[in-house]
Amino acid sequence: MAASENTSLFKFCDTDTSLKILNSQSLRWSSPHLFNDPYELSHRCQLAFTEKALLRGLILEAVEMLFGPGNLAPSDNDLITTIARWRDEKRFNSADEAEAVLTELLAKKAASQFAVAMQYIQQWQQHVSALRICCFSDRADNINAWQRFGDNHHGVVLELATKPGTAQHNPKKVRYSNKPPQLLNLDQQVDIVYGRQNKLSTRQFVKNSLSKNRNNNKEGEWRCFISDNEGAALEDYLWYSNTKFAVGDLKTVYLGQAISAEDRAAVLNLVKHRYPKTPVYRTQPRPGSYHMDFSQVPKI
């Protein structure tokens, strides 16, 4: 489903959380700092390599180009052009002999790129300190989401509109991968110096917050983003924002099939008085299959 086709998003939660949302008429948008996933990229990201390691990586790559098999492809990168000329001239008899010259040639390049990487980290830290995310699914009948986020079918799902003017407008689909997201890595920096990869761009920042473990792909997660301009990496900072939604933006409420009678009554009473036009449905297993059906519940 494309983002433009998403007219609704579904917030899975336990009953206590749903009552807080319905009472306050607001959703909590959190910094990745508060997520319970150690693989999420947060404001605590640091460089995983030193300037010395970057210089060493550049030298090893240059030595491979000088003495490796095959020919170097033509390039408009000044470093590769220089290395290709030295290779053709057979300037060096051994890798050890080449390294002394390469160290002098590449030291300034390593220092310059390391400074760029440090600045990029600082830009990310500033960005993600102000970033607030709210997580949803794109279906009310997502069994995996009911189990993990809907209190194992004891909870509630809130269907919210994504029309323009709502905080949920323009949702982004989470991508599921076998590799966790990385802000920067050493190989990437080496490739940038040698012109094999584009320079660092802050346009990648949203993408960095849309990657999760492939094992969770059945959750069908979508994320929405807002910015808290007061965000700062402070110990006493809340790291979340409570954002209001309009009464009419709550399109439907779904009750889990295992919800208790007490919780069911509490949700129904609150919806009846605060969201009188919002229908409530009860989920129930479909006989003979791992699917669910919905039946409307009267607001008595």
pLDDT the model gives residue 229: 65
User: What crossing angle do the helices spanning 95-130 and 186-193 adopt, rounded to 10°?
Assistant: 110
From first to last of its 300 residues, the chain has per-residue pLDDT tens of: 444 468 999 999 999 999 999 999 999 999 998 888 888 898 888 999 999 999 999 999 999 999 998 788 888 999 999 999 999 999 999 999 999 999 999 999 999 999 999 999 999 999 998 899 999 999 999 999 999 999 999 999 999 999 999 999 999 999 999 998 889 999 999 999 999 999 999 989 999 999 999 999 999 999 999 987 654 444 446 788 999 999 999 999 999 999 999 999 999 999 999 999 999 999 999 999 999 999 999 876
- In this structure, which amino acid lies at residue 127? H
Half-sphere exposure of 14 (CA within 13 A, CB side): 4
Task: Round to whole Å and give the CA distance between 156 and 25.
Answer: 15
Q: What own/partner pairs with CB < 8 Å and gap ≥ 24 does 64-68 have?
A: 66/92, 66/95, 66/98, 67/95, 67/98
* Bridge partners for 176 per DSSP: 212
**Residue position matching structure tokens 């802050």:** 202
What is residue 149's predicted lDDT score, i.e. its pLDDT?
Answer: 95
Instruction: Report, in angstroms and rounded to the nearest whole number, the Rg of the chain calculated over CA atoms.
Output: 26
What is the predicted pLDDT for the residue at 237? Answer: 61
* 3-class state of residue 93 by DSSP: coil
**Per-residue pLDDT, 173:** 96
Which amino acid, residue 116?
V
Q: What is the pLDDT of residue 228?
A: 78
**First vs last Cα of the chain: how many Å apart?**
36
User: Is the Cβ–Cβ distance between 297 and 282 less than 8 Å?
Assistant: yes
